[in-house]
Structures are given as C-alpha cells and as structure tokens.
Amino acid sequence: MDFETVMQELEALGKERTKKIYLSNGAHEPLFGVATGAMKPIAKKIKINQPLAEELYATGNYDAMYFAGIIADPRAMTESDFNRWIDAAYFYMLSDYVVAVTLAETDIAQDVADKWIASGQELKMSTGWSCYCWLLGNRPDNQFSKSKISNMLDIVKKEIHESPERTKAAMNNFLYTVGISFLPLNEKAIEVAREVGTVEVKRENKKSSLLNAHESIQKEKDRGRLGFKRKYVRC
C-alpha cells in the first residue's frame, strides 16, 4: 500500500465528532479525525514499513503522524530520527503517545529520554518521562538501575509542582508507574506520591485536571495489580 492510498483510506475513516475531540485536546489542521482502533485493519495490511512511516509523519497531518507510529520500525530509527520526530510533535498526543511509545521499543530509549528530561522544554520533558512509563510498564525490573529510578523519584518530589503543565502530568504518571510496575521501589514511590499529593494540571479552555498518584496506586494495589507489566508497548 503506497502513501497516496493510505492517506485516502485515513481520510475515508475520518469522523467529524472525533476530529472535534482531537482539536479540543490540542490538535490542529490538517487532520481527518480517525479513531485509533479504526486504523488497525490498514496497519494489519502494511505491518512495518519505516519509509512509509517517515512519509506519513512528514505530512504534519495528525492522523497520518499517529499512524506512522503504528507502522514505524523503531529499531531502524537513530537518535537524530527521534529528535526530528519530537521536534515535529506539536502537542502531547503526538509526543507522549507516538514518539514516546516508538522510542520505548528501542535500545537507545533511556539515553534519549534522559536528554529530553534534562532539556527544559515542556513536550520533550513530558516525552522523556512518558517513555520511562512505557518502559517500566513493559520491561523486566532488572533492565533498570534502581539508584537511577530512585533519583528520578527524588526529582519528581522536588520539581513536579513547579514544572510545565504537560510535564507535570507525565511526572505524575511516572510516579504511578513506578508504584505499580517497578517493585524494587514500590514503597518509595508510594511515599513520594503521598508527599506530592494532588497535582493540578491546567488546560487551555478547559477545567484543570487534578491528579493524585497516591490514590491511583492504592486503587491498583487493592485490585492486586502490583508488578503489572504490559505484554506489548504498541498495541
């Protein structure tokens, strides 16, 4: 399936209602408004195709960029490729759910995510923290440095309330993910989450979101989900 055909198929799947939801979350034109589940049949036909993924991502069309993440070959991508992708990711649904997810399937994930966390740029920082969430929720605990993750928890405790809005949300999710999916630091994550308390994330033209990782961890703990790992990062 070539580039033109994919764009035509995505356009045909677009729904005005879905488009409005994406626009209200920060997407902008061009986009079609395709539900992510509706993309699966096309993805099954294509499987993995990095050159096509690059063509689609370069369009600036939200749906095409999202679909690019589904068919990308993460291991064929270099650090400069990921830097190019993050530079084009103009809002969190691209940065945290396309770039971070794709990066999480590579061997360079932690190195790149560390640089983005240290960048001081809201979406890069958000993507870096989100990438760790995808990693910790999928890979065995022994693939991570306990002291490094512990230091990251300290950074969250110290900086979360003063961080940019999207970064706050990703840091809160990191706290929650360590609490559930990284057993060596489960107790520390719960303690830090308790100290952090409720995190307010302000959103343009919408009510603020109030996030509380401590409450979320406790709910999962009560359901017996400590140590949960996803089978796959990408669906």
Q: In this predicted model, what pLDDT tens digit does every residue of 169-180 receive, in sequence order?
A: 999 999 999 999
- Rounded-to-integer distance, Cα 176 and Cα 74, Å: 26
Supply the pLDDT for residue 64: 98
- Residue 4 forms part of a structural domain: no
What is the pLDDT confidence band of residue 229, given thresholds at 50, 70 and 90? very high
- Residue 193 forms part of a structural domain: yes
Please name the helix (run of DSSP H) or strand (run of DSSP E) that holds residue 8, with its range, or none: helix 3-13
- Residue 17 forms part of a structural domain: no
Specify burial of residue 34 (Cβ count, 10 A radius: 0-12, 13-18, 19+). Answer: buried
Domain that holds residue 168: 106-235
- Rounded-to-integer distance, Cα 40 and Cα 86, Å: 24
Give, in degrees to the nearest 5, the angle at Cα 35 between 30 and 38.
Answer: 115
What is the pLDDT confidence band of residue 181, given thresholds at 50, 70 and 90? very high
- Residue 5 forms part of a structural domain: no
- Residue 229 forms part of a structural domain: yes
Q: Over 90: is that where the pLDDT of 220 sits? A: yes
Total domains, the chain: 1
What is the pLDDT confidence band of residue 129, given thresholds at 50, 70 and 90? very high
Supply the pLDDT for residue 160: 98
- Give mean pLDDT, residues 200-207: 89
pTM for the predicted model, two decimal places:
0.95
Supply the pLDDT for residue 235: 59
Q: Convert 92-122 to b/e letters by CB count within 10 Å (16 or more is b).
A: bbbbbbbbbbbbbbbeebbebbeebbeeeeb
- Residue 172 forms part of a structural domain: yes
- Residue 56 forms part of a structural domain: no
- Residue 144 forms part of a structural domain: yes
What sign for the dihedral angle of Cα 137, 147, 153, 224? positive
Percent of the chain whose predicted confidence (pLDDT) is above 90: 96
